[in-house]
Structure 1
């Protein structure tokens, strides 16, 4: 089944159409809301608002004396909070309000003490932007009382503020008095601990000692480095002398005796001269030169001679280098140099040892100094903290003693409330206007809500989109006056006969023309006129269509096939004693049952209501009658019951050329329309098209395509045209 379409594009014209459809509840709701607003406006009593202001500040006396300035000082706990907001809450606190009510003996309308809640509703506290001023206002019907309340409230707040500051100072004084002895003992203990520490570690000035120790260590390190350098040089020289002379105790005696033998000294001298000459010649001659070879041979011979003479003198085969056999003076000098160098080396070794011992001693002290400094700083911090706390407590004790004796708070009245001379309540016109605005809003909400929950098909466009059948005609509504007569008659009437030249007649002529040109191959002879539900005007459409065709010169037969609720005999004011049902059971002849109310129009009423109308319509007799009707008349129109729950139209439509479906916006809803459409589809009915009946031109956005509103409104008659 199809569901109600969702119209996403809604323009202002469609909004206006909704208001036109729901004008009655819209106007009613607007009237009710506006009326209540008007009554409320005139029932309001005059109210007066008295204003006063408080300056919230730091205690001036404390600021001037420098004592107790923290008592009562307003500070915010966070950067985002305003301390004036806290004071505003204090002004409206229960104790302050209760004291004000009690002092002024405020009563309510019943003579009972005014409740805190009611009192607070009349009270307003604001912070003057960019200042430290609180604006206090109170609204009451009595202007004198309003001013008294504001002034008394400010006095109560200031008195409570002073008492709170005193209480705070007294509490602080008591607390400080209890803490001073403990803090004093802590100072003495910290001083004793620091003194003991310095005595035990022999500390006078750690920073000075550390500086001196660092300098001493640096000096010792320099001295050690210099002594070590000297030791290295002396040791190297001694080793060199020992290496050059190969000096030891035994060799020194041997060298001394050999140096005194002339033969050995002579050979040594010759050997040295030969070696010197060889060195000179090697610098300018090749190694294979004869002179080089001769010198080398000479040196070898001299070495051999020297060794022989040594062996002859010392009696063993000990090999002694020739360079060690210098003259006695040189050898003696070498021995003396070696002795002096060895003595110097031993002295430097002892000096290095002594300097190193001093360096280690100072280094050990320096390594301990950071720990001692850390401990000393900790003890000094404890002492300083204890002293600071002690001094602060002494200072605060003096401050709170002064603050406790003061009689000044941190607020003062800068503008007392004056008796207001003008009412501050809302003006009546403003209340009425606001009520009108609210009324419009509520009325609009109600109108659109009703339209949303209304599931009926409201416009021609919705009907076309829902059924999707060919639109053969649009029958407009004829106005309010005719609808008023509808309540009196309840019987459809023939607009073409009773209201000549009415625009509705033009609509039926258009319908007749569309039916004639619907099928160019086969001319329509018989149709069934039905609707989805009752009250859509199918009988009216059938009757007026028959009149239109008859006026055009066609012989038209209008058959009232609605044997459940017949209406055509009332429309034409003819008898229903005999009719279709009687003819089908052969109770009366056809020519007797058919009546002619106007020229070219013949009406066959339904006759006596049978027990089973469907059985009569679905019979061979009915098929024969339809065949004879189409042969004798130019056009046959069957007025049948609606499709909802009845098979009459479906059964009869199989015997004719098709169904003309009448749709009346505002009567049919989406559920019944979908059910009717699905029924026609499943039963395989031939639907020629549909007629939109009772269309309200003013409520159709596209109505100008069909009719002129002016022509219709100017030709509407006061005669009724009720629907069935």
Structure 2
């Protein structure tokens, strides 16, 4: 009997120990992991804020978006001023030409005539000279040139000429011989008024021409600044988006940490031993015989079955199966960054009534958990290569049916919804799916762009989901897809897409038995590997990874698709990319 009592006591102690260790293992590891990530993420937020501040200080900006609006307004204002100035200049030049024709004088002659006509002494000397000239002409009719009367008049004229020349020099800075005779004639008040208007018009023309030069210079300087500003604005926007993503990730980590701490506190109370182990004995100290109790035995049997089930579940979780069932198995076996876990959704919610009848289309609005999972993947992707943003990548899987096309399409939607300008390219020329998923025609696409020389700008289509999302479908199927994907034109297209869009996502054929994904990935930033949970065979994935390694294709990370577990597990494993990246 003593042995039996010792065994029961050991069992009770073992259950309590199992309870304590079980609580610490799962929740404790999660809290510890989050605590290791928080300092790095907080430092990243601080660094991004400092870079934003430096950018604002370097370019003396307060609000970049307001500055862009201000530049546009200034450009418009300068254009208006230039137009007004050109109209004024044309009007004044026309007036000047009209006055010049009326006077019959050049600008210089007009100025001289005005100055001379307004000099009293010059006009007095000129009148005397004209009187003497008139008298000489009359007297020559009566006398010869040698006559004393004529000589006297000539002497008077000779005395007046130096005086007149001296006065002209004072008034216009030239001698009489240098002045055009037209300018020496007397100008009446009307002509003097016209001359004054002509002078004013000439001055106004000079002012307007100077103003035109100033406006041209201001426009050139502002235009040069406006060309540089989009680069600054783009850099600021990229920093701002990175900052918002980091803040959201930090907020999620803090919220998860708090939730785990609350859960740990709620589970702090351990299992209680209701009563110490004891043996029923009769009055003589011998073990009492107890008759069978069906209800009690049934309850104990159920408890034993429950405990056995828990043990078997733990055991099964540690054993490897032919396929990946959980994110934990992926993490343990693959050894690549896990960018996210996508929950399974068998019944999507359709966007509108018309699309319900189109079974080939995937224009659906999935529940929020589904959308949030892809937004989390995009956020992780942006943070994966911080400082050198990923601009293009390929999405593929080891075998068909793992959901690579669904992942590519919904990841593109998520990135567009988060403000990025996204191009989704259907590079699966063997079995294209994207056009059906996006509800688009497949008459022209990638195959036509490469083989027929069609401009890709004419082949892409704007998505029905988001104005930031553009799609290049596969186009009509061809006999040799590998030839297209390995062509020089295809190698040229990839960097063009990456420079035009914030993100270019390529859906491709499965990896095993095909070179398509490797050919495309060679020109991008890498490959994202989709693993179908409960579908992808371990051996197939191993072969696919070996092929990628031999081809030198960088694998950005993995996505577990079709997970049936709870949301906590998905969030927990989605953080793992930081630690393994």
TM-score between both structures, scaled by the size of structure 2: 0.42
Higher Rg: 1
Flag the structure with more relative contact order, 1 or 2, with Cα contacts below 8 A and sequence separation at least 6.
1
